[in-house]
Copies of this chain bind each other. A is one copy, B any other.
Amino acid sequence: MSTPDTPDNTQSTWLDQVKWNDDGLVPAIAQDADSGRILMMAWMNRESLALSARENRAVYWSRSRGKLWRKGESSGHVQELKSIELDCDADAIVLKVKQLGGIACHTGRESCFYRTLKEGQWQTMEPVLKDPNEIY
C-alpha cells in the first residue's frame, strides 16, 4: 500500500513531472465537464494532487488555512473528477469535474468568475443560487 507521503513509483513519476512553484504548489483550474464553464481556480500541492487522483475528487491546498481542502467537505459541493490535464510547461492543471449541487463558489454561485469588466467596472453578472448561510 502506498500513501500520499510515500507514493508508489507510478505516482512518483507523473507527480515529478509537474513543475511545482517555490511554495510547492501548482494552480488548478476546475471546469464543468459538461458545460465547459470555468468554475474556480485554486492551488494544489503534491499531496493534494495525489489524493485528487486517488479519491477521484478535487482536493486542493488551502493557502489561507495552510491545510488540505477536500472541496465540498463542509458544503457538500464535491467536485467529482472526470479528467486531469497538464499544460505544455507542466505548471498548470485543468480538472474537468462534475460539480455536485451545481455550486462551486462560496458566495452560493455556480462559478467563482461571476464578475465581468464592463465600462471600467467589475459588474456582477450571475445570481446567487443559494444563501451561503444555508451552505455552511
Q: Which B-chain residue is minimally distant from A88 (CB atoms)?
A: B112
A27 to B84, CA, bound (A): 19
Q: How large is the interface on A (under 10, 10 to 19, 20 to 34, 35 or more residues)?
A: 35 or more
Q: SS class of chain A's interface: helix, strand, loop or mixed?
A: mixed
94-124 of chain A: CB within 8 A of chain B: 94, 105-107, 109, 112-117, 120-122
A94 touches B14 (CB 8 A): no
Of B11, B13, B83, the contact of A116 (CB 8 Å cutoff): B83
Binding site for B on A (CB under 8 A): 10-11, 13-14, 17, 27, 29, 31, 35-38, 40-41, 53, 83-89, 92, 94, 105-107, 109, 112-117, 120-122
